[in-house]
Amino acid sequence: MNYEIERGDNFVLIKGDFFEIMDELRDNLRGKVGAVITDPPYGRAQYSNKFNKYLIPLSDDKRRKFVEFVSDVLMSRSYAFVCTNCFEYAKYVIDFERRGFELYGDVVIVYGQGAPKKYRLRDSHEHLLIFTRDIRKDVDINSFKNVYHTIRARGINRCHPVEFKNAPYEKIGVTVKPLMLLRKIVRTFTRQNELIVDMFAGSASIGESALLEGRRYLGVEIRDYVFEFALERLRKVERDIKEQRVIFYNYKK
């Protein structure tokens, strides 16, 4: 079991295979997580002839283990947010329902639109599924819906790529989530200083959103070049917060 841990003031980023360290994480996090927000691999063969092995959809066994882990670490009345595509949609719904969750909502995120022409991305979308076992009374879902529709109407929910250095296969991350939407999700569905876990961290958009909203973050990323990008991003966010260079920082002690 090989993994590397990097820590900041309010984040922990682990380089390694989530499924290899899953049991150790479960023992340390059981019942302590305010929300799981993550984007498991589900395949992106349409973007490249060189199919990255790390983007192959989770097997049925791994997907069920992932859902079981989420069920074990979440606090009561907490939420799980899982990004997927239309092919994996029903599988996640069935697996989460077997663990006592309900499908609370589905946010459709558009990506590719507005991206620089050199990437030649197709306009497409993915689903951000929201699961819960018990609705929190302090969540104003009407407020969330209103803000989401406003964001969508303005086109701000469209995703734009990021470039990875020293990437052997994928030079870009094409499904980077919009920060404005992620921050609203974090702000609406979690409390100050709660822990947000992301088992497939990618470029750490979720981590940045968590830190900017005054939450703690734990992410896991298996790809070296993406891990380096995510680590520098999170460190920069914390530096910006300390130096008061973040305009929309939301934290109350």
Region for 30 from its dihedrals, namely left if φ exceeds 0, alpha if ψ lies in -120 to 50, beta otherwise: beta
pLDDT (mean) for 101-128: 67
Greater confidence (147 vs 40) lies with 40
Least confident residue range of 20-24, 76-80, 124-128, 167-171 = 167-171
Average of pLDDT values for 204-224?
94
Of these ranges, 5-14, 99-108, 133-142, 238-247, the one predicted with the greatest mean pLDDT is: 5-14
Least confident of 2-6, 77-81, 104-108, 115-119: 115-119
64 pLDDT above the threshold of 50: yes
**Model-level pTM?**
0.83
Q: What is the mean pLDDT of residues 150-171?
A: 47
pLDDT at 184: 86
Residue 45 is predicted with a pLDDT of 47
Ordered by where they begin, the domains of the chain are: 4-242 (3.40.50.150)
